[in-house]
A and B are shown apart, each in its own frame.
Chain A
Amino acid sequence: MTPQIVITGLGVVSPLGHDLDSYWNGLLRGEVPVRPLDYPGTAVDGSLTYVVDGAPGSDGEIGRASGFAVEAARAALADAGLAGEGAEPETVGLCVGTGNGDSDLQEAERDGRRKLTGLQWFPYGTSGVLARELGLSGPATTVSTACAAGAYAVALGAEMITDGEADVVLVGGTEAVSRPAMGAFLRLGAADPVHCRPFDSDRAGTVYGEGAAFLVLESAEHAAARGRTPYAAVLGAGWSCDAFHVTAPDPEGVQAVRAAHEALTRGGVAKDSVGAVISHGTGTPANDSTESRTTATVLGGMVASVPVAAVKSALGHSGGAAGAFSCVTAALASRHGVLPPVGTLDRVDPECSLRLVRDVPESTRGTTLLVNAYAFGGNNITVAIGAAQGPGTAAEVRA
């Protein structure tokens, strides 16, 4: 029998703050911490961005994205009660999602601010940095499925446990401001000049964000043996690919719908248990109009009653970290039973029939939350996150 995978620790480095209380309360208050980027002497200087203050976790020898990851992963381990404990290093896995990795080091070399040493020339080294910094020797992988990478990291990390490869897995995503990536977005006219406005009539593109979000996964049995009460369970994940266009989603959305259905099927949960959706919600006209339709299709007759969140209004679009932020948010929403509002929502796109949470938090309606993440190349994933079952869980206490 495949074990149930539960979430027992969370950690973030975010524009809302670097501890869970600041993060969750900032989301619940609908904060929009966007501000001009400080990148003097370059064309992206002054671009509106959801920025992380400083370079937490980095001493300058590793890039900002790796630093964010170290900080968030340490916090997640501590939250799970695993910091400093004697978990066998080989039994703890790592699964990191990132789009641009430690781009900042190469940027500094290109504009003459520094010379690179060691492996600093390689941008996707975060999983190796984490293994070294945390003393881990289990499986460690890096997934770079663009803006869906963080959610894929959660799914692939869960499978490390079901495949018997690890007992505990740190999963998450990390992304830092990347000058060439921001430049490409600006060149394509894909950036909103105001702030990130998912599902708003006036949305005009996405807004870059940065940060890291990590979760500790383990089997329910393993968590119970440690006496831990999970936030929630990773029930299942559905993967698909539009195979339609490099940058645009397939407007038909057939594969996005399939990913959601497959997440439910793999999770063994009925559609009527869906009580909330954490949307991908980027603020781009194409994503949000397609996601409005596909999510409405998935929810069917429940579309008017199931609340939908769009956390990029508060976090910006943190690329390869975004899906992990959504999974962290789903875990918190599952524990607290509420969904944060879309802080930037003014006028809902009239073509969007979803019940977007606005102004104040709203209660979730059922035990399962769907997390959507989509990406360049038409890479789709939906992760079903829900109440954990079994010893020590809230479900058992209620029973």
Chain B
Amino acid sequence: MNANTDVNANTDMSAGRGGGSGADAAPLAAITGIGPVSRVGIGVAQLAEASLPCGGDTGSGIRELDNFDPAEHLGKRGWKFLPPVTRAALAAVRLALADAGELPERSPERTGVVIGTNFAVSEIVDRIDRALLENGIPGISAVECPNFSVNVPASQVSIAHRMKAFNVTLSNLLTAGYEALLVGGRSLRAGRADAVLAGAIEGRPPAALHTVAGTSVDAAGACLLHLETPQAARERGARVYGWLTGGARRVLASDAGLARGTLVSALDSLGDVPPASVHLCLPVGEAEVAALRAEEDARRWADGCGAGVTVTRGAPQATATSVLALARHLVRESSAAPAGTAVAAGTAVAAGTAAVPHGPGEDDAVFGVLGPQGHLVLLRVATDGGAA
């Protein structure tokens, strides 16, 4: 792309490889709202209380989203012909927007949507194909036809809330949720929007998901975050859960030595100042060998810089698991933070302040997710709000 772009862009391109270091670059985005709709919890209060980020139920099979009543969140009408995944997505948006507090009146063209999903339409595509096999073209439900396309649930979010800046669906296995957050943050920095709803949604997965995600998986779920430009968040005095300051994406090779080098370089790329903690979401089952190796390499790297490590094993909510884990961490940090360390709602901070929003590394965390194909996504998030 060319340099002389002037589309409301924050043109801080000082970041190194990785797209923005954690401590020395302006944040990509402020995370100001969280909307979880999952067996883990619905809404931030339940999410904060969740014992494990990915549910923690034992057993096997596909668990229904039986703690979710669409009418409670979407009203009595307008959702009954929508697939379960879309209902969850629409509720997640409402929760995230409500959690973000009072928002300024924005042009519809200034809010975008980036959603990661693996299985938003898997069940529907399966049903269409089986109907075709059984009864030919007339056997396919005309009402269901448009829903064969995996981007349709995300599109329903834009349609319902008139979010016109852009609408992007990403689909890498287990990692697309974090990718959506990174792409959302970068889109804000590029001036494509002032706010983005970003995260993950999932529909009923195929049974084979067990082979990489664990013995029991969820039939549906969503977790969407409300991202804003740092300036927009400061101008309205928003409560900021955390600042997305950078990220990195790689693919780890099957060769152990190559994978180690790639993982370390990705972690190193997130800034000269090491984070306080590293939180990993890793696949299990057939992907477990590579996951354990990555965990060991990450622990060694973290030990070297004094960072703590936590690990979420398995992905019962597929690509939404990692987003739920990040969201749960932020909600808990927010509720535990002493007064004055977070930008409280209604506390105006000088507009346009470009200062780094935190002490380097003090409360920085790296959130990482590894997919069964080796996709690795790392996000760096500062959680001590606008203390500076």
Contact = CB atoms under 8 A, between A and B. Distances in A.
A163 B169 contact: no
B352 interface: no
Interface in B222-263: 248-254, 258, 262
B132 interface: yes
Given A124-B118, A144-B170, A234 B152 contact: no
Given A121-B208, A144-B151, A241 B167 contact: yes
A152 B168 contact: yes
A267 B1 contact: yes
A42 B1 contact: no
Interface in B264-314: 265, 286
A183 B129 contact: yes
B192 interface: yes
Contacts of B137: 43, 183, 186-187
B371 interface: yes
A83 interface: no
Interface in B105-163: 108-109, 112-113, 118, 125-126, 128-133, 136-138, 140, 142, 145-146, 148-152, 154-156, 158-159, 161-163
A1 B1 CA distance: 11
B358 interface: no
A377 B163 CA distance: 12
Contact of A128 (B6, B206, B251): B251
B261 to A, nearest CB: 8
A90 interface: yes
B4 interface: yes
Contact residues of A: prevailing secondary structure: mixed
Interface residues of B, number: 84
Nearest to A131: B251
**Of A90, A183, A239, which is in contact with the most chain B CB atoms at under 10 Å from its CB?**
A183
B158 A378 contact: yes
A289 interface: no
B68 interface: no
Contacts of B131: 183
Nearest to B174: A122
- Interface residue tally on A, bucketed by range: 35 or more
Interface stretch (B14-22, B32-40, B54-62, B330-338): B14-22
B373 interface: yes
B168 A145 contact: yes
A258 B113 CA distance: 17
A225 interface: no
B171 interface: yes
B63 interface: no
Which of B151, B262, B372 is the most central at the interface, judged by chain A CB atoms within 10 Å of its CB? B151
Contacts of A3: 3
Interface in A75-133: 89-90, 93-94, 99-101, 103, 106-107, 110-111, 116, 118-119, 121-122, 124-125, 127-129, 131-132
A305 B374 CA distance: 50
Nearest to B136: A43
7 contacts: A43-B136, A100-B125, A101-B171, A131-B251, A145-B168, A239-B192, A266-B2
Interface of A: 1-5, 42-44, 89-90, 93-94, 99-101, 103, 106-107, 110-111, 116, 118-119, 121-122, 124-125, 127-129, 131-132, 135-146, 152, 156, 158-159, 162-166, 179-181, 183-184, 186-188, 233-237, 239-247, 255, 258, 262, 265-269, 375-379
Given A144-B171, A239-B168, A243-B161, 4 more contacts: A2-B2, A376-B146, A377-B151, A378-B159
Interface of B: 1-7, 11, 13, 15-20, 108-109, 112-113, 118, 125-126, 128-133, 136-138, 140, 142, 145-146, 148-152, 154-156, 158-159, 161-173, 176, 179, 183, 186, 190, 192, 206, 208-209, 212, 248-254, 258, 262, 265, 286, 371-375
